[in-house]
A = this chain, B = another copy of it.
Amino acid sequence: MRIVLDALGSDNCPDPEVRAAVDAATEFNDEIILVGPERDLQRKLGSINGSAVKVQIVDAPDAITMEDKGIQLALKAKKRGARNSMAVGIDLVKNGQADAFVTAGNTGGALASAYYRLGLIQGLERPALTALFPVKDGHAVVLDIGANPDCKPEHLYQFAIMGSIYAQKVLSIQNPRLGLLSNGEETGKGNQLIRETSPLLEASSLNFIGNVEGKELFGGEVDVVVMDGFTGNILLKSSEAVAKLLVDTLREELMSTMRTKVGAALAKPSFTKIRKMLDPGEVGAAPLLGVDGLVFIGHGRSDAYALVSAIRVARQAVQADLLGAIRDAIERQLQLLPEIQEP
């Protein structure tokens, strides 16, 4: 198995990537392909004795950065023969020279590059950005968190299929509970999109438990939650902002007097679980579902540890043949629901 790691992804790249490639190649005893500026990577690899392990470098002198946006980004992502690390890395997957691509870089860039270079799985209408949300006693698969601001019911239906398969194949949840995020749990609640999507999910063979709200999601009562990319993006960013507000406020208060400082020092082990819960590196990476190849996107703040976790997740997806399972399910879905085949 060969996993490609974008050496120009994380905020502190390429050092965490070089370290992660060496660590992952050692841990998994399998080949890791680093894409990025060859000479630079070679030198850094040599300096940490990385030449001994199975790390291959494929040259990519350019990068898609956090500053790339809009048309400029689309051009970089689309251009045939582009030499940026995402293009080169994803082309390796496309050409069968690698099994999965992992990056901690620009999410929009990874989405656009994967979409243009790999195309979509046959029969699929939209790709979905996926996140693993920390919830009570575990994680929930949440999609779409931003690829499609406007969605149709069929899109959400396909997200539900992909998310459920991901939970099954990669997170090993046998019969993942699926929920549709809505403003109220009763059938009939929701906006037009929700009211049109619920019946599709109810009629499906998915384990649809109904419309859910924040309390079911964060309470760990559901494994996969689907929504349009506008709602999902707001959900993601607001949740992060609320957590930050609470943690910052508490930290400030704890540091305000000597007595509370002492209390905080004694209580320190209690904060570990919260910190882990809120650390995006803990989940490693989330898949970009729907494109015809395995692509995983980690957080920009990923360190080597988080990148190794990301590679581990990508390996699990390869081993479980995630892509094949989604391809099959979408094909079966098209046979079952011919009305969805319309363009």
Give the B-binding residues of A (Cβ under 8 A). 69-70, 134-136, 146, 149-150, 181-184, 186, 188-192, 194, 213-215, 217-219, 228-231, 233-235, 237-250, 253-254, 256-257, 259-260, 262-274, 277
Contact = CB atoms under 8 A, between A and B. Distances in A.
Nearest to A259: B266
Nearest to A241: B214
A262 B269 CA distance: 12
Contacts of A237: 183, 213-215
Contacts of A189: 149
Chain A residues touching B, majority SS:
helix
A87 B228 CA distance: 38
Contacts of A254: 267, 270
A275 to B, nearest CB: 11
10 contacts: A69-B186, A135-B245, A146-B183, A184-B233, A214-B238, A214-B240, A218-B242, A235-B238, A260-B267, A263-B266
A273 B245 contact: no
Given A242-B218, A263-B266, A277-B249, A234 B192 contact: no
Which of A215, A246, A256, A270 has the most C-beta atoms of chain B within 10 angstroms of its own C-beta?
A270
